Amino acid sequence: MATKNKQKVALTPDNLNRFLAISGYTYQRNDEELEQFELLYENYDFKLKNLRIDPDEIINQSFDVRGSVVKIRDEEEQKDIDELRMAARKGNEQIPKSVLDKMRRKHKDGNK
């Protein structure tokens, strides 16, 4: 098991591969990297404990993709965006004053 010798080491181009291996982004290449990886993640709560991960399914792209849709915008914000898109598409046509005011307000507020 890994020893609890925590040292701060500056990240440089020379030790980048070692850092990536210790942090788990690449495979550990020797026992020292493996021990440091285990030390880094010894208290990590792995959330997929009851899920079987089959690397062959990932490589062959035959795995069952289960995901969820995450809404980024609410309906009111999407309505505002659609209005502004419509105004931008119309170009030189007359844009309603309410839309122009909203565009100026958003520009002045820094798109907040």
Q: For the chain, give every domain's residue range.
A: 1-45, 75-108
pLDDT digits (tens, 9 = 90+) for 52-110: 778 888 888 887 777 777 777 777 777 877 777 766 666 656 777 887 788 788 877 76
On whether the pTM is more than 0.75, the answer is no
pLDDT digits (tens, 9 = 90+) for 60-71: 888 777 777 777
Q: Nearest-CA neighbor of 40 among 50, 28, 49?
A: 28
Token couple for 33? 């990297």
Task: Assess contact for 32 and 38: CB atoms under 8 A.
Answer: no
Token couple for 106? 């958003």
- Kindly report the CA angle at 90 between 85 and 93, in degrees rounded to 5? 140
pLDDT digits (tens, 9 = 90+) for 17-66: 999 999 999 999 999 999 999 999 999 887 777 777 788 888 888 877 77
